Structure 1
């Protein structure tokens, strides 16, 4: 599945990965039924047009689908100043007392988060508040700005009643962070449709949109056909919408995102090889490929076993001996044994661009992505120059684009 490597992916110009996307091709709303979206199937260079509910019949029967089971949190808060003005707070990631998203969502009473601030210039000082209801009772969330940094602010939250977990505060007081290009407020329909049917772990501020097409009926058909299913967790950050502003990719800082993977999946990947692993979405793909490089890191630097596991964006492009997938997965299992845990926690900045050699994944289910984005770079790494054929076909055949748009199944090796 790998494409011919470029001399150095860091020298790629993002301007070589663009296309004209008419505004009317961006889907503003979800379809009435999840699995009625269109499905472009690319198999060894051949393109066909299907509907998403036919996906199980299009997959190799011995494949393993890996889903990202993150759940989108209501991360947008509209707080009122004492003078009546509104300040928008977009919660990006927790800072204190916990940095781990799972612990931060269970925090009670108070916490500090890194946030984007809208109308921030009009917020000189002092607290702002959001009133909301929980179980028929009035509750209050208070926010104060502690520090202003480049691109974000540190916001201290406290709330009453203080026994509420922060997750429940956001559920009651917050709004879904729809993609900025939709340019509209979230609705009751979004509360259902901007989540996957299998979402389980709260922490994302953007949906893993490839999974939005799956219905319970499609999942049942996968099981009936013997297609394997497994999950990983990558909490999608706001960086997924970050445009590439640098002339060359070497100057683009890839955002870091937390991942969680269970021991059972590592063992399953070992026994499933060499049968195909297909990622549902770019976040699942980046998580799976990150596993290989985290394992390679442990093999190369055993001292990393006592430190927090982190994968930098250019790690796969350093010239060094590449271990087998089996060796990399075994290193991760040994790490879990050493730490007496069944869950692997790490962060990844992995940037997949043309020139990347895929180690785990053999296919991808994904939506159609924005021009000049890191997500489009990933698709180009998977398909090589054929990514243009795929996007030209989608544009010529009235496919809907971006988060609420249609889907594609990309199988370079058939």
Structure 2
């Protein structure tokens, strides 16, 4: 398929600037692939589609406050620094994006915080906006990470034009987040409340926690019409033996095995055995899923509504069926569903 197949008109007012007042009361569109039907529900109604022994695969990555603001030495120019990936713990080396990039050259120093106790030196250019920074900090590594957390703010997506608000620190994080390392939230999981998870547990629905540390590469625009030529950035994933066992038991018992979000789906599809079972794994994935694609692990999927031409929409279309998902998106626009990170959800069964 071509990039142009995934374009559609999305009114700006449907991009969600704020989350739903209560996590599990976002709207939910339910797509039944067999019956080709579309239902309109609330997210908390999702419990009606799951039974004892069914499995939900959840990405337990935790977003860290990756956006910092510093001042350039001498000029004092305000520079946004977006932490992407830690390269070396001992040397305090990080891959980052800087904005405005034209002002930042190798050898420049940036000062962070009112007391300017955290300083970073630019030691390399990686891309037009990318730089490698060495943070100059004399304290212990744990003190250094604490300092980054204090100075950083929640990295809301760029489409959200408002200032970061106090509630974002909690709401742009799943309630089951454990392992810090993501620069963006696995947003399908944002809809789960503690109450809903407890109700699912009482009903006998099992959860399998996997980890994919979401990087900004997930949201990089596709710039080639031929999708086979698009390259995804690599992201770190972990699948424990315990998670693999839970998922494989669900498959063997012919239960509903549901990937909560595109990140969970990419994770499990990156480590499949020859007999269609999930393997434990720790490493990296750059898997790009677009139609046509035969899925091996999950037979059900929860996802948000995605933007035009995005890799996330392409994966959703591969799972739900291109024509069916296209029809669902037309209905979502007509019914004014909210899109993107703080938007509404879709269940595909």
Question: For this structure pair, what is the TM-score category when the shorter chain's length is used for normalisation?
Answer: over 0.9
Give 1:217-256 correspondences, 5 Å limit: 217-256=195-234
| SS class of match (2:167) | helix
Tell me what 1:150 maps to.
127
Q: Does 1:116 align with 2:77?
A: no
Kindly provide the CA deviation profile for residues 201-235 of structure 1, in whole angstroms up to 9, marking residues without a partner as x: 10000000001111001101101111111110100
Indicate which of 292, 317, 333 corresponds to 1:395: 333
Q: Structure 2 length normalisation: TM-score?
A: 0.93
TM-fit CA distance, 1:139: 7.2
Give 1:116-135 correspondences, 5 Å limit: 116-124=97-105, 125-131=107-113
- CA RMSD, Structure 1 to Structure 2 (Å): 1.7
**1:17–1:377 CA contact under 8 A, matched in 2:** yes
Indicate which of 187, 198, 214 corresponds to 2:176: 198
Indicate which of 235, 256, 266 corresponds to 1:276: 256
Gaps of 5+ in 1: 1-11, 98-106, 133-137, 296-322, 334-343
**2:57–2:207 CA contact under 8 A, matched in 1:** yes
TM-fit CA distance, 1:395: 1.1
More helix by share: 1
Q: Quote the Cα distance in structure 2 between the aligned partners of 1:251 and 1:270.
A: 33
Q: Does 1:35 align with 2:31?
A: no
Q: Structure 1 length normalisation: TM-score?
A: 0.79
**1:355–1:381 CA contact under 8 A, matched in 2:** yes
TM-fit CA distance, 1:95: 1.6
Tell me what 1:373 maps to.
310
| SS class of match (2:327) | helix
Kindly provide the CA deviation profile for residues 352-376 of structure 1, in whole angstroms up to 9, marking residues without a partner as x: 1111101001011110001001111
**2:231–2:288 CA contact under 8 A, matched in 1:** no
Q: Does 1:94 align with 2:86?
A: yes
**1:140–1:160 CA contact under 8 A, matched in 2:** no
**2:218–2:232 CA contact under 8 A, matched in 1:** no
TM-fit CA distance, 1:270: 2.6
Gaps of 5+ in 2: none
TM-fit CA distance, 1:266: 1.6
**1:139–1:161 CA contact under 8 A, matched in 2:** no
Q: Does 1:386 align with 2:337?
A: no
